[in-house]
Structure 1
């Protein structure tokens, strides 16, 4: 439990998955050896959590379950915190998408709300799904220290909500590299619930595909 009764939630994006850079979305690849190294590097021996929550996808769940076993922590799998589906783009590189779909990728990055990939998940529905899982997490573990192992898109939806960033700018407003960590503090007061971003710390300097 946190020292002052606040809920502290550390978000960490998974490391590099096997198969190299691509639009992965629902494609369920495990972490590569580099990805495992990135995740271990991102965790400090000074970290203290009460529970670990994870996306069901292997690139998150594998590390979460390993870390839970290492530290004797419960691990909860929350399906609503899986990555956005990229539809027909899944398994394709940016170059593949540009070759097949012209400037659709450029338009997606500029405004993902108005430019859903063919067969993909509409961003407003994705945001609603993720924020439902986020609300559930906060209600289930009030006053706890939580590690959430998840995805770049999931982190973008949560930070956009906390910071008041429009969904149309949620994919271009900030970078979420592999193994990037963000900390959010949630205070419940007589005047309502207040959430604040305390830190956003990339392990690497360049953003990567999700």
Structure 2
């Protein structure tokens, strides 16, 4: 099986303000850049065979220090991008509610299936992530791979792999810390999870 280390990108200005970023290309803030360097300290001793990232700059900028620390290159994959939030990009749910009350209510009740106007269903994000995981497993069937990705899509795909209704991702996994590490063994759409949302400085002493 492939050991996948899934890390959410570092903090951006929008995330610090609890705004949806989705596929908007929001860069890291200063704290996010520091978090990426912390992830690199973990990566240096993680015996990685590869590093993958979404094509969004906040993910790439998070992955690059780990690539420098390990001598690997960052392979980008558009299937690892965040779920698109349409009219929600750059806004909070409270800001959306006056104009899109019904859509916001549906999105809060069934976040894996309901779509904010112009956005993408969470279940479609799951499909993309599983495609990417399958390709990575084929390339590194017994390897150790860091994947720098995104908070909502990460929680959705974990629910799918663990046999949990993805609409419950917010209740069961209310937050993913920036640059925290989740560890899976993965093969053929099956996974075993060994750790979830472990800060990089703690993960450095465990895996």
Q: Report the TM range for the smaller structure's normalisation.
A: 0.7 to 0.9
In the superposition, the TM-score normalised over structure 2's length comes to: 0.84
1:31-50 deviation per Cα after TM superposition (whole angstroms, max 9, x unaligned)? 11111122323442532211
Match of 1:30 among 10, 27, 30: 27
Structure (1/2) with the larger helix percentage: 2
Structure 1 stretches of at least 4 aligned residues deviating more than 6 Å after TM superposition: none
Change beyond 3 A, Cα 1:76–1:91: same
Deviation at 1:178, TM superposition (A): 1.9
1:178 matched to which residue of 2?
178
* Aligned-partner Cα distance in 1 for 2:60–2:131: 19
SS at match of 1:23: coil
Task: Extract unaligned runs of 5+ from structure 2.
Answer: 201-207
Within a 5 Å distance, the mapping from 1:1-210 to structure 2 comes to 6-19=1-14, 20-21=16-17, 22-42=19-39, 43-44=41-42, 45-102=44-101, 104-174=103-173, 175-186=175-186, 194-203=190-199
Distance of aligned partners of 1:32 and 1:170 in 2 relative to their CA distance in 1, 3 Å threshold: same
Q: Which runs of 5+ in 1 are unaligned?
A: 1-5, 205-210
The alignment partner of 2:137 has SS state of: helix
Q: From the superposition, tell whether residues 57 and 141 of structure 1 become closer, same or farther in structure 2 (CA, over 3 Å).
A: same
CA distance in 2, matches of 1:194, 1:23: 29
CA RMSD between the two structures:
2.2
- SS of equivalent to 1:201: strand
Q: CA deviation at 1:88?
A: 0.9
The two structures have a TM-score, normalised by structure 1, of 0.83
The answer to whether the Cα contact below 8 Å between 1:176 and 1:202 also exists between their aligned partners in 2 is no
Report the Cα offset of residue 124 of structure 1: 2.4
Shift of 1:202: 4.4
Residue 3 of structure 1 is matched in structure 2 by: none
Distance 1:13 1:193, change over 3 A: closer
**Partners of 1:12 and 1:148 within 8 A in 2:** yes
Residue 207 of structure 1: aligned partner: none
CA distance in 2 between partners of 1:35 and 1:106 (Å): 31
Name the SS of the counterpart of 1:47 in structure 2.
coil
CA gap of 1:203–1:193, structure 2 versus 1, over 3 A, is: closer
